[in-house]
Amino acid sequence: MTCTLAHIALPLALALLLRSGWAGNAYKFQSLESCKIAARTEAGWVCGALRNDISGNQYASFRGVPYGRQPLGELRFQKLQPLEPWTEALNATEEGPVCPQIDVLYRNLAELSNYSEACIYANIHVPLLGLPWESHKRHVAALPMLVFVHGGAFSFGSGNTDLHGPEYLVSKGVIVVTFNYRLNVFGFLSLDTPRVPGNAGLRDIVTLLRWVRANAAEFGGDAAQVTLAGHSAGSAATHLLTLSPAANLFQRAILMSGNGISGFLSSTPAYKKVIRNLFLEKMGLNPDEDPEELHRQLVKAPVENILRANEELMNLFGFVTFAPVVENSFDGITPMLDDEPEALVDRGRGGSIPLLMGFTDSEAETFRPRLTELDIVGRLEATPSAAVPARLAYQTPEQMMPDVINLLHRRYFSNGVDMDSYIRLCSDTFFIYPTLKLLVKRVEAAQPTRVFRFSYVGQRSALRVAWNITFSGAGHAEDLTYIFRPNSVFAPDEQLPEEDLEMVDRMTDLVTNFVKYGSVFTIFQLNV
């Protein structure tokens, strides 16, 4: 066989791509001259698109911008590596794939089936304030930035515009950054080793925040005015990062329906070990095997096998399987969480960061379809301990557990176990009580804190339209749909009823006033 330069060059090029982690990413490039909206990031130019906000004004939208090297192959479970620079302009007009997951909640609210391990992408949306892009960058003062962490029980979800449309917020003069981060096993498995210490998903968020700080000016943003916000599990992650060394990467935080002391997660070593061992067994691996060998096996395992094992665990636990955990100490590795969240709060960690916190009045109503699917009432009748939230279950001494179970059943199931009572229990223990408890702790410590309770029932509720359900009050994520436009439900030119538009205006004012000034300025009822 004749050996030519082409025969040598092609394998060499492929090897370089594989080594850099770019293979399979399907990045698209174009000439910079053909780009109407461009920004120069540290890794290279990105080419965006012009879109319209809710007021009909244009904003610059950069979608599918990588903020770290894709965690492929041996990089699975590792801290994200720096991006390899590119020379031509990266086409940033379409969102990238979501991270590997199996969705058991969002369904028609979000499209989550197009997943890939090459999912480390951010979406940056910049209000133009009536100016052309270049004039905006030259003449407008740097704008405050909202970095939003999506929810999804640490197991599913994405930062894409199907549920997190920026059209409401950019009309108020705030740059909006949404993004994907590793989830479930890929984001939160801990083998208690330096190679897999846990909290990879939190480290992804930190990498994104560092990327924002480094590149903010190129998008007209102010790196000294960054607010980190999140919803549900994303809210819990946001709160945990206020307690971590990453707290210096943002100035304010918004917690919507969740925090680090919420009942739906346990960061204890006991839970970490239980969920890890159950997963390894479902993968056909021996939990007592050498951790390095376990790591090698998991790096080689097909994505689908990992997701299938995690799905079995979700059917046991309901929603949350893997979640942020207290890390062991390893040389050269900065832990994201070095103690129990409540202990850190009590020591004053994160106290200087202003918080805006909120919850809805009927939070867990959103989960009724999933809870029905799981036959939660039958489970509670068969196993009364199933009523105990994860956080409480793994922090209560074994000898005290019967008293805890009896207390919960007397409070919520005095007339028998039923779905309505369990939904009240979940609303209280997952969201409402933890928010109020954190509020009390912060007020007692004179730490800057604002709180809201959302109970508005819209005429055109995105959640109820998408799922064809009805219930009293405002469910989990309904407040979110008046801050971000749920484009998966509403047509591009669809106008909301006047009362719903008024609530959009109120909620976006609440958020953007806090992002800009650290205050909400006005107090008003978020209901009818």
List residues with catalytic annotation. Answer: 232, 363, 476
CB 72 within 8 A of CB 21: yes
Helix (H, G, I), strand (E, B) or coil at 377: helix
In degrees, rounded to 5, the angle at the alpha carbon of residue 507 between the alpha carbons of residues 502 and 513 is 120
**Judging by DSSP bridges, how do beta strands 45-47 and 355-360 pair with one another?**
unpaired
In angstroms, the CA 184 to CA 174 distance is: 31
- What burial letters (b/e) apply to 311-347, b meaning 16+ CB within 10 Å? bebbeebbbbbbbbbbbbeeeeeebbbbebbbebbee
Contacts of 445 (CB under 8 A, 6+ apart): 348, 351
Structure letter (DSSP) for residue 485: B
> Considering only CA atoms, which of 440, 488, 419 is closest in space to residue 157?
488
CB atoms within 10 A of CB 72: 18
Which stretches within 62-107 are classed as H helix?
Answer: none
Helix (H, G, I), strand (E, B) or coil at 44: coil
Helix (H, G, I), strand (E, B) or coil at 66: strand
DSSP per residue, 426-483: HIIIIIIHHHHHHHHHHHHTT--EEEEEE----TT-HHHHHHT---SS--TTTTGGGT
CB 117 within 8 A of CB 22: no
Sheet with strand 89-91: strands edge to edge: 29-30, 89-91, 45-47, 38-40
In angstroms, the CA 388 to CA 401 distance is: 9
Residue carrying the six token digits 């040598």: 8
**Judging by DSSP bridges, how do beta strands 252-256 and 355-360 pair with one another?**
parallel
Which stretches within 109-232 are classed as H helix?
Answer: 133-139, 184-188, 200-215
CB atoms within 10 A of CB 301: 16
In angstroms, the CA 182 to CA 203 distance is: 9
Helix (H, G, I), strand (E, B) or coil at 52: strand
At 428, list the tokens.
């209280």
